[in-house]
Amino acid sequence: MWGRKQRRELALPGREPEELPLALREWRQALDVSRVTDHTVREAEYYLRNYRRMMPTGRHEASFRMMAMLTEQVSPPPPLSVAPLDAVATVLRAVRDR
């Protein structure tokens, strides 16, 4: 129908989507999440679940807070070119995969 975008196929588990930015792919391969706490995982899940319903100011504040938490707990820290939403989702995926 007009007005609707064509539906993208979801990536299969274990396969990288081709549209991931190069910086995000490289970071994900080198990511060490052994220091990520359960509290951070819960905060990240809450952030991802409620991101779209947050007011813009709250969204920016939550994004900065999550990036600060991730920078302290993951190695190497997220690249500056990666959006907070992508960084949080990538860390959660890595935590679940370990």
Domain boundary assignment for the chain: 44-97
CA distances, 79 to each of 12, 23, 31, 87, 93 (Å): 25, 7, 11, 9, 17
pLDDT of res. 97: 87
- For 25-56, the pLDDT digits (tens) are 899 999 999 999 999 999 999 999 999 999 99
Locate tokens 């990036």: which residue? 67
User: Over 50: is that where the pLDDT of 12 sits?
Assistant: no
Locate tokens 């994900």: which residue? 28
Closest CA to 73 of 97, 92, 45: 92
